Amino acid sequence: MQNAALRWWLGLWLLSSCWLAVAEAPTLWGIPLSEYAQRRAKLRQLLESDQIAIIASESTPPTRLKFRQESNFMYLTGLEAINGVLVVLPEGSPLSEDVVLFLPRQSRVSRLFEGALPEPNARTRRESGIEDIRERGELREFLSEALKAHPRVLVNRLARTALGDLIREANPEAQIASVERLMARLRVIKSPAEIALMRKAVEASIAGHRALAQRLAPGVHEYELEGAAQDAFRRHGSEREGYPMIIASGPNACILHYNANKRRVQAGDLVLVDIGAEYSYYTADITRTYPASGKFTPRQRELYQAVLDALKYAEKEAKPGITLAQLHQKVVAFFRNHPLRARDENGELKTLDHFFVHALSHMLGMDVHDLDPNLPLAPGMVFTIEPGLYIPAEGIGIRIEDDYLVTETGVENLSRALPREPDAIERMVGASKRRR
C-alpha cells in the first residue's frame, strides 16, 4: 500500500511539474518561443535549394504614427525590432547557418526617444530564442556569400528599395521575388495559441460594438461613435485597431471603405459599423448595421433580413473542402433568386445580386485581409463571412459580418455573442435611448 501511495504521489508530482513547465514556458505576445522556432523551421522546409528568404522589419515610423511591426517579421520572430533583417536559409544549405537575425546597435539618442529596443546581445537571444543574432552592419558581407549558393531571393515588401539595392550589390544576378506565397501557406492555419489571441480580439471588438450602440442616437457624430468603440477596445486589452474604423451613417454606408467618420447621424439613418480590435498582433473584423432611431423602417428591415438570411445560408454551406470563391458564388445566387428587388441609380429594377458588390469572405489573422494561399477551407483557418447590399438610390447600405474558425465538420462563429437578429439589434440601440 505504501509503495502504491508513493507511486501515486510521484505520478501526481510529475504531472504537476509538466503543467508548471507548460505554464512557465517562455512566450512572446502569447505565443510560445517554441512555436516561433517551428515557424522558422517550416519556412526553411518550404524553400527550394537555391532560394533564401530575407524578411525585413519595420523602420522607425513617422512621428504621427505608432509603431507596428511588419506581420511576417513578427510571425517569425515575435520581436518589435526596428530596421532588423531576418535571413532564413533552406534545409541542406552549404552554409553553416540556418537562421540569422541582423539587428542594429541602438544609439543613446535612439534609446532616449524610443526606449530600449532589441539589439544583438544575450538578452535578445534569450527573449527570442534565436541564437545567431549579428550586427546589422554585417549583413552586406553575409549576403555576398549567401547569394552565391542561393541567388533566388524571397523578400517581404518588394517596394523596400533599400533592401533590394543591397541584394543586387551582393549579387547583381539575384532574382528577387515575394515571400508572400510561402508565408500565406504558413500563416493560414492558426495554432491554438493564435486562436486564443483571436478570441481576445473578438471579445474586445464585441465590447466596442456594444459601447457604440449605447452611444448611437440622431445628432451624434460618427467620430463620437468611433471614440466609444476605441475606449472599449482599450479597456479590453487591445493595443490598436486592426484597420481604420468604418462608421458609416446614411449614404456613407454605400461607400465600402468609408472611414472619414465625420458626418452627423440623422434620424432614420442606418449606421453601418465595421470595426475590429487588434490583440497582440491578431485582429477581429465584425460588422453590424444599426438603426439610428432605434427601429428599422419596414423597407430597412426587409433588406436587413435578406442580408442576414444570406449570412446564415453561407454559414451552413461553409465547411472543409469548399473554397471562398465557391461560397461567394452561392451567396450571389441566393441574392439573385431572392424575391426582393431594388432600383439602381438609373431607376431600373434589379435583383439583389446587383447590389452585392464585394467579395463575401477573406482570411483573417495578423492582418484583417490576411495572407490567402487560395486553398479550400481546412480546420484551423479563420475567415469572415460578410454579405452586404448597397443601394445608393435609397441611401441604404447594409452589411453583417462575423468571424469563423473552420472545424473538422463545419465552422464555429467566433463572434456569435454579438446580436445580429433585427429585434435584438433594435433592443441594443433602444436600450441606450431608454437610459437617456
Residue 223 has pLDDT above 90, yes or no: yes
Flag the least confident range among 7-16, 232-241, 297-306: 7-16
Would you mind telling me the total number of residues written for the chain in this entry? Answer: 436
pLDDT at 81: 97
345: helix, strand or coil: coil
Angstrom distance (rounded) from CA 209 to CA 233: 9
Query: Which secondary structure element, helix H or strand E, spans residue 246, and what is its range?
Result: strand 246-249
pLDDT at 63: 82
363, 367, 362: which is closest to 242 by C-alpha?
A: 367
Average of per-residue pLDDT values in the chain:
93
**Selected residue with higher pLDDT from 158 and 147:** 147
301: helix, strand or coil: helix
Confidence of residue 433 (pLDDT cuts 50, 70, 90): low
Residue 6 has pLDDT above 80, yes or no: no
Contacts of 257 (CB under 8 A, 6+ apart): 246
> What is the pLDDT averaged over residues 3-12?
42
pLDDT at 2: 42
Strands of 250-378, DSSP E: 270-275, 277-279, 282-283, 286-291, 341-343, 349-351
> What is the pLDDT averaged over residues 411-427?
98
| pLDDT per position as a tens digit, 393-406 | 999 999 999 999 99
Alpha-helical segments (H) within 216-323:
222-235, 298-317
Kindly state the percentage of the chain with pLDDT values over 90.
87
Count of CB atoms within 10 A of residue 107's CB?
10
| pLDDT per position as a tens digit, 253-267 | 999 999 999 999 999
The whole model's pTM is what? 0.92
Contact predicate 347/393, CB 8 Å: yes
Residue 274 grid cell: 465595421
183, 172, 229: which is closest to 54 by C-alpha?
A: 183
Q: Which phi and psi angles does 103 have, rounded to 5°?
A: -130, 145
Contact predicate 249/223, CB 8 Å: no
In which order are the strands placed within the sheet that holds 246-249?
246-249, 270-275, 286-291
> So where are the chain's domains?
27-187, 192-435
Residue 7 grid cell: 507511486
11: helix, strand or coil: helix
Contact predicate 406/381, CB 8 Å: yes
> What is the pLDDT averaged over residues 162-179?
93
Q: What is the assigned CATH class of domain 27-187?
A: alpha beta
- Where residue 327 falls (left for φ over 0; alpha for ψ -120 to 50; beta otherwise) is alpha
**Selected residue with higher pLDDT from 163 and 339:** 339
Confidence of residue 17 (pLDDT cuts 50, 70, 90): very low
pLDDT at 432: 56
* Cα first-last separation, the chain: 70
Angstrom distance (rounded) from CA 131 to CA 126: 8
CA distances 221 to 50, 120, 276, 356, Å, are 56, 48, 20, 27
Q: Please give the angle made by the CA atoms of 341, 423 and 362, to the nearest 5 degrees.
A: 65
CATH superfamily label, 192-435: Creatinase/methionine aminopeptidase superfamily (3.90.230.10)
Residue 323 grid cell: 473554397
91, 87, 93, 61: which is closest to 73 by C-alpha?
A: 87
Pairing between β-strand 282-283 and β-strand 277-279 as defined by DSSP bridges: antiparallel
Residue 60 has pLDDT above 90, yes or no: no
DSSP labels, 371-399: --------TT-EEEE--EEEEGGGTEEEE
